[in-house]
Amino acid sequence: MTTKGRIATLMMHTSPLEQAGVGDAGGMNVYVVESAKRIAKAGIEVDIFTRANSSDLPDVVEIADGVNVRHITAGPYQGLSKEDLPSQMCAMASELMRVEAAFPKGRYDLIHSHYWISGQVGWLAAERWKIPLVHTMHTMAKVKNLALAENEKPEPVARAIGEEQVVNAASALIANTDAEAANLVGLYNACPDLVHVVSPGVDLQRFSPGGGKREARTRLGLPKDAQILTFVGRLQPHKGPEVLIRTAAELLTHDQSLRSKVLVLIIGGASGSGINELNRLKELANWLGISDSIRFVEPASQDNLPDWYRASDLVCVPSHSESFGLVAIEAQACGTPVIAAAVGGLRTAVSDGFSGSLVDGHDPKAWSSVISRLLNEPQRRILLSMGALEHSKRFGWENTARGTLDIYDQLLSKPNSVSKRFLA
């Protein structure tokens, strides 16, 4: 490839090589990898730095032409939760400096950090290397704390302070939606001129209707005549899987005839400190008397995930807050309508009444009412399915990469910029 420049991408708390839906890996992992691949196709090399969580990992893993994952050692390989990682930020920064120092001076034109821990490390590196820092929050402590699930622990003050510092240090901030941009300005006092909106994308070739619902159910061994409701994501209270389980109980209590028809799929793994969340959700389903209608499924790979979406009648995203909601776009690209909480980026990811439905709040009775109506109106679901396909076409990773590169170019074209190689 013809190289026009090189950027250092930082995602210290989770690796792009990890399976989305497990631990701390989720939509951000997909976002970083897919946008990096498209940026590399434009001739910009991308080095993705992440903290090594095993001594067996190679220093460098090439995941695509022009995209390398670089593992740095910071703290013990295992036994640290995401909440423990702020104690290792100095170690991360030191190791990042050591790796960069082994290259000829001026290796990187720009740093793009993801999540606040990476932003703190990127802040120091950008000052040392005298290059711009671009930061994408993905989630924000102040936003999460305004919409906590029942019994969910609030994000610590230290995180909110750290995020404020990154906002002040960044040369540019990338928000997923207008709502997130407004939160950066309103809650973090970000300069509006430095906040840019670039929507995440979806691989429209991988996530597509394919052979349709019947073929997908055959491949997955799912009943052909069931009415399937699906949750996809990490099993943590903030993502709301409990809301869907309680909604299913409301559905089946209200209409006993659905008990032999409705199947709820909970696809995902335990996340962070919620190591016992899977058992808690199973116990809840048992206590509600609907265990026979709930099936828990291990996280699916990006290659297999489309079939789970295609096999579903409705995909449900009951998150308490969401910077965007990649699951919603992926499902719609497969032709499946989405029922989502009317929060944050989900208001952009789902076109209410056209590609799915947005529900105010997380009351299982309200969710049950919306879902019951759609299950009883197959023609309405067909119209929403057509709308879902149309809506998803707005969100391709190529658009995400182009929007991101435009921001890079703006920064590197400024008179005080050290490098202008991206503009060649």
CATH number at 160 reads 3.40.50.2000
Report yes or no: 299 and 23 within 8 Å, Cβ to Cβ.
no
Select from 75, 85, 70 the least CA-distant residue to 9: 70
Residue 115, sorted as left (phi over 0), alpha (psi -120 to 50) or beta, turns out to be left
pLDDT of 4 higher than 70: yes
pLDDT of 376 higher than 60: yes
Same domain, 382 and 412: no
Report yes or no: 33 and 9 within 8 Å, Cβ to Cβ.
no
CA 340 to centroid of chain Cα atoms: 15
pLDDT of 132 higher than 50: yes
CA end-to-end distance (rounded Å), the chain: 14
Tokens at 79, concatenated = 């036994």
Q: Crossing angle of helices 116-129/89-101, nearest 10°?
A: 40
Q: How far apart are CA 189 and CA 142, in angstroms?
A: 12
Same domain, 360 and 409: no
**DSSP string over 274-305:** -TTHHHHHHHHHHHTT-GGGEEEEPPPPTTTH
* Residue 251 belongs to some domain of the structure: yes
Give the pLDDT confidence of 299-354 residue by residue, as tens digits. 998 899 999 999 999 999 999 999 889 999 999 999 999 999 999 999 999 999 99
pLDDT of 247 higher than 60: yes
- Number of H-type helices and E-type strands within the chain: 15, 14
Q: How confident is the model at residue 27 (pLDDT cuts 50, 70, 90)?
A: confident
Residue 210, sorted as left (phi over 0), alpha (psi -120 to 50) or beta, turns out to be left
Same domain, 228 and 168: no
* Residue 208 belongs to some domain of the structure: no
* Residue 206 belongs to some domain of the structure: no
pLDDT of 2 higher than 60: no
Which of 78-87, 193-202, 213-222, 356-365 is the least confident region?
Answer: 78-87
Alpha helices in 148-212 (DSSP H): 157-169, 178-188
Strand ranges inside 109-205, DSSP E = 110-114, 133-136, 172-175, 195-197
Same domain, 45 and 183: yes
pLDDT of 1 higher than 90: no
pLDDT of 395 higher than 90: yes
The total number of structural domains that make up the chain? 2
Same domain, 318 and 387: yes
Same domain, 369 and 267: yes
| Sole residue written with tokens 């759609």 | 374
The whole-chain average pLDDT of the chain stands at 92
Query: In this structure, what is the dihedral angle of CA atoms 187, 192, 198, 200, given to the nearest 10 degrees?
Result: 0
Select from 388, 244, 346 the least CA-distant residue to 27: 346
How many percent of the chain have pLDDT more than 90? Answer: 79
pLDDT for 19: 65
* Residue 348 belongs to some domain of the structure: yes
pLDDT for 22: 59
Same domain, 160 and 272: no
Give the pLDDT confidence of 184-237 residue by residue, as tens digits. 999 999 999 999 999 999 999 999 998 889 999 999 999 999 999 999 998 989
pLDDT for 25: 62
| HSE-CB for 109 with a 13 A CA cutoff | 23
Host domain of residue 225: 213-392
For residue 143, CA distances in Å to 5, 27, 258 come to: 35, 17, 37
Q: How far apart are CA 243 and CA 253, in angstroms?
A: 15
Same domain, 137 and 174: yes
Same domain, 279 and 355: yes
**DSSP string over 330-363:** HHHHTT--EEEES-TTHHHHS-BTTTEEEESS--
Average of per-residue pLDDT across 392-404: 94
Going by the DSSP 8-state scheme, the letter that residue 235 receives in this structure is: B
| Sole residue written with tokens 């659905």 | 258
pLDDT for 417: 55
Same domain, 68 and 197: yes
Give the pLDDT confidence of 102-112 residue by residue, as tens digits. 999 999 999 99
Same domain, 171 and 314: no
b/e string for 312-339 if b means 16 or more Cβ within 10 A?
Answer: bbbbbbbbbbbbbbbbbbbbbbbbbbbb
Same domain, 314 and 165: no
How many percent of the chain have pLDDT more than 70? Answer: 94
132: which residues sit within 8 A by CB, 6+ positions away?
110, 111, 126, 171, 172, 411, 412, 417
pLDDT for 17: 81
